[in-house]
Amino acid sequence: MFSANTLLPLLRQTWGFDAWLPSQAEAIEATATGRDTLVVMPTGGGKSLTYQLPALALTGTAIVVSPLLALMKDQVDALTRAGVSAATLNSTTSAADRAQIVRRYETGELKLLYVSPEGLATGRLQDVLRLGKVSFIAVDEAHCISQWGHEYRSDYRSLALMRDLFPSAAMHAFTATATPRVREDIVTSLRMVDPVRVVGSFHRPNLTYRALQRTNLTVQLQELIARHPGDAGIVYAIRRKDVEEIAAALSKVGVRALPYHAGMTPELRQRHQEAFSSEAIDVIVATIAFGMGIDRSNVRFVAHAGLPRSIENYQQEAGRAGRDRLPAECVLFHSGQDLIAWRHILGELVGEVGQAAERRLQEVQRFAVNLACRHRYLVEYFGEPFELDADGCGACDVCLRECTESPDSPTLAKKLLSAVIRVEQRFGAHYIADVLRGSKREKIEQFGHDRLSTFGLMKEFESQDIVSWLDQLLGQGFLDRGPMNTLLMTSEGWHALRGERPVRLTMPRGKPERRSKRTRGQASGGGAGPVEATTQAGHGFDDSASSALFEQLRQWRRETARLEKVAPFVVFSDAVLMGLIGRRPLTLQALRACPGIGDRRLELYGEALLGFFRALPPEARGGGDVLPEPTHVEAPPAVAAGTSTVVAGPDDDGAVSEAKVASATLQTAFSAFDLGCSISDVMVMTTRARSTVERYFLDWVEDRRPTTASPWLDERELARVEAAVHLVGRDRLKPLHEHLALEEPLDYAMIRLALRVLDTRKKVAAAA
Ligand code: ADP
Ligand code: ZN
């Protein structure tokens, strides 16, 4: 048994991180009890570490079951670079490697051994496993065991065998997807005994969600890609044919894109996946067959070219964005046609299964057309409460007010529905739009539709807007599609026509299209309002000098990865590169202090990185003082410590609640604080004034509730604050500040941090 905090030195030494991400400590402590555990954390939550670190600390070898060869390779490559003894045994391992790995396993030198479920089913691997001492069994992507999950793999079923093979070893299951049903299924299928359940929050604040009516997909995708130049993205499509077409269309307009679907040969699929992992291409267009193997952590956007088949799928697929915890964007382009396409594909499903599939489609359709916060919808879908601030989440098109309800939707709907009836439900959307616009088309005159009362009834609208509204009615079940794309009324449609059903139609063309012109690197002054700041996703640098440095470092990383035959994100994550740019270290010691630089990586890459930073012209060199010190704004006096988030004051550019709204910058800051960056580092990264960054920091402290103030404050400083509180109390910060200054001044932000850490510790101690 160990407490998670006794492993902090190991975390620092091996991975170069100073603090836990939310739920990590809890998950590690659950592992330490030696009981079975089920750990449910969102993608990017840092699950891997919660079994890798205990594996390091315990004697014996942890057996990790992982669903895909590519995943295993990436994990082992990354562990090796952190100095951890790890290997994988699978069908592609050569005989020579196999013998050597088995030896390392037998002697107990291996801390982690990755195996595949199909490998485990063979007697041969079981025989090998008997030779060593197993510390515990970890099952990654454990939802694959559940038929209720969306990635069911029959070979996961045989994992329960591990129980018989190693009756005394604890089994730890990890997943990011969990409806309660899937969770229970994992527990039963793995024959877990009274497991400890650790369930983290499903909220992924670094993602910005948008759901837009699909109009001109290629143009819409181009606009999205233009917001993320040079960055990685995934486009999901429903059918193989769509995948091929979209990939071709994107290539034609100069995007480095490749297709990926189950109809391609395995070799070609693998080549395309590798091209994506190695950053040779930026965009991969795929059916849902793609993804499980994708570990690339710096995916900056995920687009859906059509409705996903369920919310679970959406969460999993969109969740592949921003695994490195930096800002990323998820856009769902949808149309009423998608439901019909899915029904066609799922047509064979009958009975209960068919009904369940239909229900899931309806849910995801509702998500797409809903005019409510999308973060909230997703989080609540998974049974977790979500508190929405008065000014919204700041990270979805609804809360950002980009997507608005069309004025007077019910009347609009009535006009549209009656137009469908007037043409006797025998025509398609474009024709109906022409009638409503009062077009002079010959065909309309031939049918006498120019004499209808609906003729010209909506002439103030563009044809594509009318088509889009008809499409929305289709998607919401008020219309149905008949033969040759004709539109038919449903009974719900008749109710709506009589005003018996609420109908909400959104403005067909959302704002991001118009706002997307502004891309990374452009000056952020002038009219860049707070909302625009949030569309600036990407790695979050606002100044072009840092962006250029980032690109150079990425180039170095790509080259290093190529030589080492690994994926670039395995060498360093984007978050670590950002931290480096924040600090621009010039000595080994300074480099060692950077987040994400453990002992082994320092040995491997230290000289190269120092060479890089030392070669910079003097004005670009670092130590965190590359920018002129922004004007210091006095900390707001005497906010009672321990109260909730800091009151947002006027910001640098006068926008009142920028800290709330500019979530991309905020998230960059949060990720950086997670990594242990200092306030000055984050000032450089975000190009925000100290006062702003201090506010971000305090929000972060509030949110994360760290139990240690490291690396910002050491224990001596904490003790100093504690002593000062004894003397002058803590009702007001100013006297505390003044008292501390008698010996040595301490920032307001640091005093707040110290108070929060002391509080948290007290609570933990009281609970123990
Ligand atoms: P998951 O498997 O849950 O999707 P990962 O294990 O891939 O998440 O971790 C997500 C990212 O978070 C990785 O880039 C990892 O390096 C980083 N990370 C993990 N633990 C920490 C930590 N304690 N501090 C900072 N970053 C961390
Ligand atoms: Zn929202």
Cα(499) to centroid(ligand 2), Å = 29
Report the pLDDT value the prediction gives residue 133, as an integer from 0 to 100: 96
Q: What is the mean pLDDT of residues 625-635?
A: 33
Tell me, yes or no, whether 601 lies in a domain. Answer: yes
In the predicted model, what is the mean pLDDT of the chain? 84
Cα(220) to centroid(ligand 2), Å = 21
Q: Is the CB of 46 under 6 A from ligand 1?
A: yes
Ligand 1 closest atom vs CA 140? 2
Tell me, yes or no, whether 760 lies in a domain. Answer: yes
Q: Could you give the number of structural domains in the chain?
A: 5
Report the pLDDT value the prediction gives residue 10, as an integer from 0 to 100: 95
Ligand 1 closest atom vs CA 11? 23
Tell me, yes or no, whether 44 lies in a domain. Answer: yes
**Same domain membership, residue 302 and residue 333:** yes
Report the pLDDT value the prediction gives residue 590, as an integer from 0 to 100: 92
- Say if residues 128 and 153 touch (Cβ distance below 8 Å): no
Q: Is the CB of 213 under 6 A from ligand 1?
A: no
- Ligand closest to 82 (CA) is 1
Boundaries of domain holding 212: 207-402
Residue of 653, 746, 757, 655 whose CA lies nearest to 698? 757
With pLDDT > 70 as the criterion, what percentage of the chain qualifies?
A: 88
Tell me, yes or no, whether 353 lies in a domain. Answer: yes
d(CA 487, CA 431): 10
Report the pLDDT value the prediction gives residue 178, as an integer from 0 to 100: 63
| Ligand 1 atom 20 nearest Cα | 46
Confidence class for position 632, pLDDT limits 50, 70, 90: very low
Residue 541 has pLDDT above 80, yes or no: no
Report the pLDDT value the prediction gives residue 511, as an integer from 0 to 100: 44
Report the pLDDT value the prediction gives residue 521, as an integer from 0 to 100: 30
**Same domain membership, residue 346 and residue 409:** no
Site to probe by mutation for ligand 1, drawn from 17, 175, 199 as the one with most ligand atoms within 8 Å of Cβ, is 17
Report the pLDDT value the prediction gives residue 122, as an integer from 0 to 100: 83
Tell me, yes or no, whether 70 lies in a domain. Answer: yes
| Ligand 1 atom 12 nearest Cα | 46
351: Cβ–Cβ under 8 A, 6 or more apart, which residues? none
Residue of 507, 502, 458 whose CA lies nearest to 477? 502
**Same domain membership, residue 615 and residue 563:** yes
Q: Is the CB of 291 under 6 A from ligand 1?
A: no
Residue of 638, 657, 664, 660 whose CA lies nearest to 736? 638
Confidence class for position 110, pLDDT limits 50, 70, 90: very high
Cα(727) to centroid(ligand 2), Å = 45
Residue 522 has pLDDT above 80, yes or no: no
Tell me, yes or no, whether 436 lies in a domain. Answer: yes
Greater confidence (638 vs 403) lies with 403
Report the pLDDT value the prediction gives residue 645, as an integer from 0 to 100: 30
Site to probe by mutation for ligand 1, drawn from 18, 143, 297, 673 as the one with most ligand atoms within 8 Å of Cβ, is 297
Site to probe by mutation for ligand 1, drawn from 10, 15, 577 as the one with most ligand atoms within 8 Å of Cβ, is 15
DSSP string, 95-164: HHHHHHHHHHHHTT--SEEEE-HHHHTSHHHHHHHTTS-EEEEEETTGGGG-TTSSS--GGGGGGGHHHH
612, HSE (Cβ side, Cα atoms, 13 Å): 21
Cα(46) to centroid(ligand 1), Å = 3
Query: Which range among 330-334, 447-451, 576-580, 708-712 shows the weakest confidence by mean pLDDT?
Result: 708-712
Site to probe by mutation for ligand 1, drawn from 323, 673, 710 as the one with most ligand atoms within 8 Å of Cβ, is 323
Strand bridging mode 479-481 / 487-489: antiparallel
**Same domain membership, residue 95 and residue 21:** yes
Confidence class for position 635, pLDDT limits 50, 70, 90: very low
Report the pLDDT value the prediction gives residue 756, as an integer from 0 to 100: 86
Report the pLDDT value the prediction gives residue 516, as an integer from 0 to 100: 32
Q: What is the mean pLDDT of residues 689-698?
A: 82
Tell me, yes or no, whether 515 lies in a domain. Answer: no
Confidence class for position 465, pLDDT limits 50, 70, 90: confident
Q: What is the mean pLDDT of residues 492-505?
A: 90
Q: Is the CB of 43 under 6 A from ligand 1?
A: yes
Query: Which range among 254-258, 296-300, 423-427, 527-531 shows the weakest confidence by mean pLDDT?
Result: 527-531
The domain boundary residue, chosen from 631, 662, 693: 662
**Same domain membership, residue 717 and residue 627:** no
Report the pLDDT value the prediction gives residue 509, as an integer from 0 to 100: 61
| Ligand 1 atom 19 nearest Cα | 46
d(CA 177, CA 175): 6
d(CA 15, CA 17): 6
Confidence class for position 664, pLDDT limits 50, 70, 90: low
Ligand 1 closest atom vs CA 43? 4
Greater confidence (509 vs 633) lies with 509
**Same domain membership, residue 134 and residue 218:** no
- Ligand closest to 326 (CA) is 1
Largest CA distance in the chain: 93
The domain boundary residue, chosen from 402, 421, 436: 402
| Ligand 1 atom 2 nearest Cα | 47
- Does residue 332 come out as left (phi exceeding 0), alpha (psi in the -120 to 50 range) or beta? beta
Greater confidence (668 vs 434) lies with 434
Q: What is the mean pLDDT of residues 327-332?
A: 96
Q: What is the mean pLDDT of residues 467-494?
A: 88
Cα(573) to centroid(ligand 1), Å = 9
Q: Is the CB of 675 under 6 A from ligand 1?
A: yes
Q: Is the CB of 104 under 6 A from ligand 1?
A: no
Cα(375) to centroid(ligand 2), Å = 5
Confidence class for position 709, pLDDT limits 50, 70, 90: confident
Report the pLDDT value the prediction gives residue 527, as an integer from 0 to 100: 29
Cα(201) to centroid(ligand 1), Å = 15
Cα(205) to centroid(ligand 2), Å = 10
Residue 371 has pLDDT above 50, yes or no: yes
Q: Is 412 exposed, middle or buried (0-12, 13-18, 19+ CB in 10 A)?
A: buried
Q: Is the CB of 174 under 6 A from ligand 1?
A: no
- Find the radius of gyration of the CA atoms of the chain: 28
**Same domain membership, residue 361 and residue 212:** yes
Report the pLDDT value the prediction gives residue 603, as an integer from 0 to 100: 96
Residue 467 has pLDDT above 70, yes or no: yes
Q: Is the CB of 41 under 6 A from ligand 1?
A: yes
Report the pLDDT value the prediction gives residue 651, as an integer from 0 to 100: 35
Q: Is the CB of 20 under 6 A from ligand 1?
A: yes
Ligand 1 closest atom vs CA 573? 14
**Same domain membership, residue 112 and residue 94:** yes
Confidence class for position 629, pLDDT limits 50, 70, 90: very low
d(CA 279, CA 296): 9
- Say if residues 135 and 109 touch (Cβ distance below 8 Å): no
Q: Is the CB of 674 under 6 A from ligand 1?
A: yes
Report the pLDDT value the prediction gives residue 638, as an integer from 0 to 100: 31
Report the pLDDT value the prediction gives residue 270, as an integer from 0 to 100: 87
| Ligand 1 atom 17 nearest Cα | 46
| Ligand 1 atom 5 nearest Cα | 46
Tell me, yes or no, whether 603 lies in a domain. Answer: yes
| Ligand 1 atom 23 nearest Cα | 20
Residue 220 has pLDDT above 70, yes or no: yes
Report the pLDDT value the prediction gives residue 327, as an integer from 0 to 100: 92
Query: Which range among 85-99, 571-585, 623-637, 699-713 shows the weakest confidence by mean pLDDT?
Result: 623-637
Residue 652 has pLDDT above 50, yes or no: no
- Say if residues 28 and 6 touch (Cβ distance below 8 Å): no
Look up residue 502 and give its two tokens.
């609420």
**Same domain membership, residue 416 and residue 397:** no
Q: Is the CB of 17 under 6 A from ligand 1?
A: yes
Strand partners, 136: 62, 170
Instruction: Determine the distance from the C-alpha atom of residue 466 to the mean position of all C-alpha atoms in its chain, rounded to a whole number.
Output: 34
d(CA 207, CA 572): 21
Report the pLDDT value the prediction gives residue 640, as an integer from 0 to 100: 31
Q: What is the mean pLDDT of residues 707-735?
A: 86
Greater confidence (463 vs 432) lies with 432
**Same domain membership, residue 66 and residue 194:** yes
Ligand 1 closest atom vs CA 323? 10
pLDDT, tens digit, 9 for 90 and up, residues 375-408: 999 999 888 899 988 888 999 998 998 887 888 8
Q: What is the mean pLDDT of residues 97-115?
A: 96
Report the pLDDT value the prediction gives residue 643, as an integer from 0 to 100: 29
Most confidently predicted of 91-105, 341-355, 609-623:
91-105
Q: What is the 3-state secondary structure (H, E, C) of 312-326?
A: HHHHHHHCCCCCCCC
Confidence class for position 540, pLDDT limits 50, 70, 90: low
Residue of 702, 717, 698, 705 whose CA lies nearest to 762? 705
Domain at 337, CATH number: 3.40.50.300
Site to probe by mutation for ligand 1, drawn from 5, 48, 75 as the one with most ligand atoms within 8 Å of Cβ, is 48
Query: Which range among 414-418, 574-578, 667-671, 691-695 shows the weakest confidence by mean pLDDT?
Result: 667-671
Domain at 622, CATH number: 1.10.150.80
The domain boundary residue, chosen from 359, 376, 402: 402
Report the pLDDT value the prediction gives residue 663, as an integer from 0 to 100: 62
Greater confidence (631 vs 727) lies with 727
Report the pLDDT value the prediction gives residue 539, as an integer from 0 to 100: 55
Domain at 416, CATH number: 1.10.10.10
**Same domain membership, residue 130 and residue 116:** yes
Query: Which range among 89-98, 105-114, 531-540 shows the weakest confidence by mean pLDDT?
Result: 531-540
Cα(319) to centroid(ligand 1), Å = 14
Strand partners, 198: 39
Site to probe by mutation for ligand 1, drawn from 84, 325, 578 as the one with most ligand atoms within 8 Å of Cβ, is 325
Query: Which range among 574-583, 648-657, 663-672, 739-748 shows the weakest confidence by mean pLDDT?
Result: 648-657
**Same domain membership, residue 598 and residue 463:** no
Report the pLDDT value the prediction gives residue 406, as an integer from 0 to 100: 84
